[in-house]
Amino acid sequence: MNVGRRCTFGFGRMGVAASRRTTYYVLLTTHCSIMIFHRIYDDKLAQASYLIGCAATGEALVVDPNRDIDQYLRAAEAEDLRVSAVTETHIHADFVSGARELAHRVGAQLLLSAEGGEDWQYAFAAGAGATLLRHDDHFMVGNIGFDVIHTPGHTPEHICFVVTDTAGASGPMGVLTGDFVFVGDVGRPDLLEKAAHVTGASEGAARALFRSLRAFKDLPDHLQVWPAHGAGSACGKGMSAVPQSTVGYERLFNWAFAATEEDDFLALVLADQPEPPKYFGQMKRVNRKGPAILNGFKRPPRLDDARIVDLIRDGAVVIDARSKQEFSEGHHRGTINIPFGRSFPTWAGWLVPYDREFYLIVPDTHEHALDDAVRDLALIGLENIAGYAGASAIISAEANGVELDRIDQIDSRELARRMETGDVAVIDVRAAAEWKAGHLPGVTHIHLGYLRDRLQELPSDRPLVLQCRTGGRSTIAASLLRATGRRDVSNLTGGIVAWHEAGLPVVSDGVA
C-alpha cells in the first residue's frame, strides 16, 4: 500500500445514508458511486468499527476493529469485498484491539499511528510489518481516499481519517473521528492519568485537545462525523446515542465547541468525568505491546456440579452470571454476581482479576450464554476461564445438602425507619455523577468498582445496606462483601428509584 502526503481537502456533496440493524451489528450502508460503508456496533462496549469498501476493486479497509474479527469478515463477504487494509485511530483503553489479528488472518496491510512521541509508539508495529501514519499522510483503498489528521488530546497518538470517494466526488464525504469528537461530546483527556497512571498528564492532554478542536472546526460543515463510541462508553461523559453527525452540527451544538477560552475548556472537560474502569490501564498496556492472536474464542471445559463446589471451597474466583433475582434467592457462598447482559463485560473488567484463573456459572435461560460470555470477556482481555458450570449446579448443590447463601432484601420504608433509629449503615455504590444528582440523606458513597479497595472504611458496628439506582449494582456489591465473609449485608429493593416512588426524601449537593 502506498502512503503519500496530501495537505488540502476539496469540498464535495454529502452522501445519503440509510441504516438497519442485525443480530451482530448496526449496518449503515451508503452507496455513493462505488463506496460501501458499514458501521459495526457493539452494544456492550458502546463501540463502533467501520468497514469501508470499494465495489469497483473489491478492496476494503476496517477501522477500529475489536477482537471479534469474524464479524468484519462476514460483513466483507456479504458485499463481495476483501479486507486489504486494517487501521485504528489510537491505542484503545476500553477493549482489546483486533487490528493485529485481523490483518494477520487475511494478510491485510496494517496501518498504525506514528504520532505522539517516543512514549506512545506501537511496540509491535515493526514485527507486524505495519505501515506508520503521520499527519497529512494520504492512502487509497481501491478508489477510496483517506487523509490522516493528527488529533492529540484523548491520547497523544490519536489520528482521524477524512474519507473521499474519489470516483464519485471531488471532495470528502466524512471523517472517522475515533475517540476525538463524538456526537455531543469529545474524548476525555484524563484517561492517561486516571487509568494508565501517567502522573500529571490530564492538563497537558486537555490543552492538546483544545487545540485539536480548534483545527477541527475548520473542516467543511457538510462532513459527516463517524465516531468510535456512543452513549454508555466511559471514554466520554455525555455522548449521544445518535450514531453519526456532521462537523457543522457539532460546531453548533457540541458543548466542547462553545468554550472559546482554553482555561474555560480545561475546567469543563476535566469536570465530572465518569470513573474509568480498572481494566482500562490493562487494555492500554496490551494494545501498545500487541494483543495475542487468539484464532477464535475457545470454549472452557464444563465442570460437574460437585467440582464447582470444591473449587469455591478452595478459594477459586467464581463469577455467577445469573440475574440478580436468581442470585439473591440462592447461590454458592463465595461467588460474585455479575449478571450476564449489557453491562457484563464492564463489571467483569472492574472486578475479575487478570492474573488468576476464574470460573463461570452461566444462566440456563440464554441458549448462547456461554459462548457470548466467553466472547465478551475476551474482548476485554479476560481469557483465563478455567471452566464453567450451568445454573443446574445451584439446584444440584441444594438437593445434595449444600447450604446456599442468600441476599436479604429491604424495602424503602423499612430502610427509612431503620435509618431513623441509626441501626444500619447505607452504602450508595453508584457513580459520582449520580450521587451528586441526588442521594439518600446521610449515606456513604463508595463506587462499586472501588468497594473492594475500601473495605476498611465500612462500619463494622452496624449491618450494611447496599443501594444503587434499581438494585443491580448493589446486588453485585452485596455479593462482593459476602464473598469476603461479611454476613450482615442486605440490598435495597429497587434502589433509589423505589425510594423516590415511595415519596421519601433525597438530597442533592447538600440541599434536601
Return the closest-CA partner of residue 384 out of 319, 324, 438, 447: 319
Ramachandran quadrant class, 209 (left: phi over 0; alpha: psi -120 to 50; beta: rest): alpha
pLDDT score of 202: 96
Q: Which of 32, 54, 160, 468 is catalytic?
A: 468
pLDDT score of 5: 54
Answer yes or no: is 295 within a domain.
Answer: no
Return the closest-CA partner of residue 67 out of 42, 94, 98, 24: 98
Answer yes or no: is 6 within a domain.
Answer: no
Which one of 343, 367, 399 terminates a domain?
A: 399
Which one of 240, 264, 289 terminates a domain?
A: 289
Write out pLDDT tens, residues 129-164. 999 999 999 999 999 999 999 999 999 999 999 999
* Same-domain pairing of 391 and 417: no
CATH number of 63's domain: 3.60.15.10
Q: In which element (H, E) is residue 19 found?
A: strand 18-21
* Same-domain pairing of 189 and 260: yes
Ramachandran quadrant class, 100 (left: phi over 0; alpha: psi -120 to 50; beta: rest): alpha
**All three cell numbers of 443:** 449515606
CATH number of 352's domain: 3.40.250.10
> What average pLDDT score do residues 377-385 get?
97
Total count of domains within the chain? 3
25: confidence class by pLDDT, cuts 50, 70, 90: very low
Known active-site residue 7: no
> Is pLDDT of 393 > 90?
no
Write out pLDDT tens, residues 172-206. 999 999 999 999 999 999 999 998 888 899 999 99
> Is pLDDT of 11 > 50?
no
Answer yes or no: is 11 within a domain.
Answer: no
Answer yes or no: is 3 within a domain.
Answer: no
Alpha-carbon torsion angle 277, 282, 284, 287, nearest 10: -130
In this structure, of 232-246, 275-289, 383-397, the range with the lowest mean pLDDT score is 383-397
pLDDT score of 399: 66
Name every residue whose Cβ is closer than 8 Å to that of residue 279 and which is 6 or more positions away in sequence.
349, 350, 354, 380, 381
* Same-domain pairing of 372 and 490: no
Q: Model pTM?
A: 0.91
Q: Which domain holds residue 471?
A: 409-501
- Most distant pair of Cα atoms in the chain: their distance: 75
* Same-domain pairing of 279 and 207: yes
Name every residue whose Cβ is closer than 8 Å to that of residue 162 and which is 6 or more positions away in sequence.
9, 146, 147, 149, 172, 174, 175, 219, 223
